[in-house]
Amino acid sequence: MARILITGGSGFIGTNVVQFYAKKGWEVRNIDVRNPKYAEAEQYWVKCDITDCEKLLAAVKEFCPEYIIHLAARTDFDGNALEDYNANTVGVENILKAASTVDGLRKILITSSMLVCHTGYQPKDQFDYAPTTLYGESKVITEQNVWQSQPTCDWAILRPTSMWGPWFGVPYRNFFDIVKAGLYFHIGHRSCTKTYGYIENAVYQIDQLLMNPTSDKSNKVFYLGDAPAIFIEEWADQIASEMGKKVPRVPYWLIRFVALFGDAIGLFGLHFPMTSFRLKNMTTDNIINLSNTQQMAPNPPVDRITGIKRTLEWMEKNG
């Protein structure tokens, strides 16, 4: 039995990671400002803000982990300044400081985001960044902090792609909810192909990256996701089919008009489900190179149809 500390273990990915290692029989500690998503996980949780360096140092020292998976972050796009994302900048500095004080720490995984590069951009190497949001910029700083600190134990940077599955929330829970409600539609003939990741496969990838050496400095950044990439129309049709539904098709020009309307009311601080930004994202390919992750984790346990079924079952049980 090993001791593993998970920051952000009350979030979507974190909840699944906590469940995985608890079932494995490890001693688990979840550091998060938020309560866990289910009652049984309360036993692993310590309330702590990672931007509070003193409190974080004390919590990490008290637990003395052998492994750390850092997932805690602010992930929305609503911030108005980079300082709004201190969890992703100051918080990472603090967890790296805390890790440096732990004797016997075997490995630390630091979670970044695929949005260090904008949708459709193919980075040339692990230092090639092209963010277009404050959130993405904050995650660039996350990675730069790791490279500058160079943890003394083995380490790696994780970039989750678009994750889905049990315990998910906005926006991919919305995708399933809209399909389930019969409100989803294909956008003309402009659907796209994107790299997504089913959560159980992502947890498997995290575990493989944690338990196997990643000491090559030229290969420290690993995307989490499933291969091959998903053609969104096909995925929506598969979800609808499992519920006995069929996805309709709406002309692109009509959706473009709705998106412009969303842009207009957004100027007044009102939120609308469709904007030009979201429309562009929904019609732009984003295929991620997962080759180095596949070498480390070659046997993802869950196929897409099984993942859809498990997700729908979870939704039925959890509302």
CATH number for 310 = 3.90.25
- What are the distances in angstroms from CA 249 to CA 89, 267, 286, 294? 42, 29, 22, 35
- Rounded to two decimals, the pTM is 0.93
Encode pLDDT of 97-149 as tens digits: 999 999 999 999 999 999 999 988 999 999 999 999 999 999 999 999 999 99
Q: Is residue 209 part of a domain?
A: no
Q: Mutual orientation of helices 86-100 and 134-149 as an angle, nearest 10°? A: 20
Q: Are both 20 and 155 inside the same structural domain?
A: yes
Give the Cα separation of 62 and 102 in Å (integer): 10
Q: Are both 171 and 95 inside the same structural domain?
A: no
Beta strands in the chain (DSSP E): 3-7, 27-32, 45-47, 67-70, 107-111, 154-160, 162-164, 186-187, 193-194, 196-198, 221-224, 230-231, 249-250
Q: Are both 63 and 9 inside the same structural domain?
A: yes
State residue 190's pLDDT score: 87
By residue range, what is the domain housing residue 11? 3-160
Q: Are both 185 and 95 inside the same structural domain?
A: no
Encode pLDDT of 264-273 as tens digits: 999 998 888 7
Q: Are both 83 and 147 inside the same structural domain?
A: yes
The number of domains in the chain is 2
Q: Are both 147 and 10 inside the same structural domain?
A: yes
Q: Are both 254 and 235 inside the same structural domain?
A: yes
